[in-house]
Structure 1
Amino acid sequence: MKNWLIGFRLFVALSVLTGIAYPCFMTAVGSATFPEQTRGSLIKKNDAVVGSTLLAQKFTGASYFWPRPSAADYNGASSGASNMSPTNEILKKVVAERQAQGLTRENLYASGSGLDPEISPEAAKDQIERIAKERKLTSKQTALVSELVQEYTEGRQWGFMGEPRVNVLKLNLALDQKL
């Protein structure tokens, strides 16, 4: 009986420590040091949340930049890849359909998580012509779209990690604001 009581006390103590105290402490530290990120890095427009810089949103209009395709249909609750191999006939068909839409580079294949909010600057540049045509932009306005892609291109993290990237949501909001 004594061993059972010791084990139960240890279970309660560790449950409180690791299940309540530690998460509360880390949340407080995170809120103090990274307040924007702990709130989900939400972007607001006219006091309404339009999205998060951390998760891709589904842009289907041809007048907007598109993120990488999502095997999870941009659903954060069920993120994940399709796990289709390069020889899978369904994947080949989907890629052919995306090529027919004029998509190139990484926009042909779904992202690994299905939620990547960023694309490469090259993938963004590949979409400028489609956007200009859809919005019936002049050459001067099309040049402005190219400048927006350059402006919203983020470099490598800490100068050496990862690749340059463009956040699709931020770019699309800037596109709406400027044009």
Structure 2
Amino acid sequence: MKQATVNELQDDSHSASQQGVWLPALRVLLLLGVLLGLLYPLAVTGLAQLLMPEKANGSLLLKDGKVVGSALIGQQFTKPGQFWGRPSATGGTPYNGTGSGGSNLGPSNPALQKAVAERIAALKAAGPVPAGAVPLDLVTASASGLDPDISVAAALYQLPRISQALGISEARLRTLVNAHAETAWFGNSDSARVNVLELNLALPVH
């Protein structure tokens, strides 16, 4: 009889200790859920909309009041009177945001060599090009396949073609490119780049 009483006391003590552990844990879980799952996201979203609404909404670019793309994701341009961006090796279609990735082809891979040769031929077939080597970023895809920018050298390489297609002097186009050139925080003039979509939107005709 005494043994049964002792066991009952032990069971009651165990149940009480479990309640003492679970109840505080549940309170902490609910508190953190409200703080981190509701209040914190709302605060961050509100601050972002207040301090940097353009970036918070995807850096969208407009033309005639309509969204035509984002400054963060490249698009494919193929007309002679447009600046062309980097080639894209994303899955399905070029600049496919849901299939971001590169070709994973090494420099000695015949498939990459063939693709580069075809891209060079397409650039030359589209219109006049300067003498010298083609800028690397005009014939090779990036790791993401979504790059919205090209080097200033790549933009300047396309001036003869665009000048002929639009009837605009190369000097005027060069001024346009330089006006849109951006340099990374810790970069130098050699790393300057331009956003292809912004540049095309700034053309008098596109």
- The TM tier, using the shorter chain, reads 0.7 to 0.9
Q: Unaligned 5+ residue runs, structure 1?
A: none
Aligned Cα RMSD in Å?
2.2
Q: Residue 122 of structure 2: which of 101, 106, 111 is its match?
A: 101
Is 1:175 the counterpart of 2:196? The answer is no
Q: Bigger radius of gyration, 1 or 2?
A: 2
Residue 14 (structure 2) aligns with = none
Is 1:120 the counterpart of 2:151? The answer is yes
More deviation, 51-60/10-19: 10-19
User: Could you tell me the TM-score, scaled by structure 1's length?
Assistant: 0.84
Residue 91 (structure 1) aligns with = 112
Deviation by residue 1:32-75 (Cα, 9 ceiling, x = unmatched): 11111111111211111112112112212121001111112112
Q: For 2:30 and 2:105, locate their aligned partners in 1 and report how far apart those are by CA, in whole Å.
A: 45
Q: Residue 156 of structure 1: which of 170, 180, 184 is its match?
A: 184
Matches within 5 A, 1:1-179: 2=19, 3-4=21-22, 6-72=24-90, 73-102=94-123, 104-135=135-166, 137=167, 141-157=169-185, 160-161=186-187, 163-176=191-204
Q: Unaligned 5+ residue runs, structure 2?
A: 1-17, 124-133
User: Could you tell me the TM-score, scaled by structure 2's length?
Assistant: 0.74
Q: What's the secondary structure of 2:82's corresponding residue?
A: coil
Q: For 1:149 and 1:10, locate their aligned partners in 2 and report how far apart those are by CA, in whole Å.
A: 56
Deviation by residue 1:97-156 (Cα, 9 ceiling, x = unmatched): 112123532111111221111111100011111222333x26xx2221111111111233
Over the matched positions of the two proteins, sequence identity in percent amounts to: 43
More deviation, 78-87/44-53: 78-87
8 A Cα contact 2:74 2:196, kept in partner: yes
